[in-house]
A and B are shown apart, each in its own frame.
Chain A
C-alpha cells in the first residue's frame, strides 16, 4: 500500500548553469505516486531545464534526485529510463513512417535468437502493443497502421501509452495538450487520470491554468530558476498562481 508521505521522485537542491546563466538556483520539488504534480512558471523560469535534468537530457551541476527514497545518478535519458522515468515530449517523438507497434517498442524491441543473430519478435511486440493501448483504454483501429495517419490526439495517446507502459514510476509530460483541440484535450486529460489511478507519478508542465487546476493534486510555481511556492491544488486559485508566476506575490512554501 502506498503511503501518502512516500515520494515517487524527489529533487533536492538542483542547480544548473549554462555559462554565466543560472537556469536552476537550487530547486527542490517532490511528486507523489498516484498524483499529478504540476510545474508552472513563465518562459525562462527553468521548468524545461528542470525536467531535462530529471529525464537525463542534462546533468545537473549540484543536487540530488531520489526515486522512491533512494538517491539515483544518471547522465543520459536511457539511464534515467532504467529508473522508471519516462518523458512524453512536446514534439511527441513518434516516427511517422513506422507503425504504432514499432513506435511503442522503439529502441526496446523484443528480439529472439541469440548473439549477433537476434531478430525481431514481431508477433510478440504486436501482442504486447495491443495490451499497452488497452491498459489505458486507448482505442486505435489498427496497431499496424503508420502513425502518419493518426490525429493529434491519437498520436498523443500513443506517446503516452509508450511512456506509461514500461513499468515506469514517473511520467513527465511537457505541454501534452498544447497542440490539441477541445475534444482531444479532454481525451488526453482522461488518459492522465487513468495513469494517475494506476499509481504513476505524473509531472505535468502546462501553461494552461484551468487545466492545471483541473488535473493537478500538487502545484509547484517556478520563477527565475527558483521554486516560489508549492501548494495543494485545491488550496489555490488561478489568480494566486498568476501573482506567483509574475512575481507580484512573494510566494509561500
Chain B
C-alpha cells in the first residue's frame, strides 16, 4: 500500500491544503475581494462536490437511479447520518429486488 506514488500524492495534498490555509492569511489580509471574486470562490465547493458524485447520476442500473433520487430527497430533509442510512438502505433493497 505505502508505495512512493501514494505517499507523494498524500504529501502533496497536505501541502496544498496547508497552502490554502496560510495563503488567505498572507495574501488577503490587507485587501478586500471584489464581489465578483467572492461569488466565484463561494461557488467552488458546491461545484466540486457535485462533480465528484456525477458518475452516480449516469448509472445504467435503474435501481441505482431510484436509490439516488430517494437519497436526494432524504438529504433535503435529514441530517448526515440518517441520510446515509436511507441512501445505503434504499440502494441495498432496490438492488436486491430489481437487480
Chain A bound to chain B? no
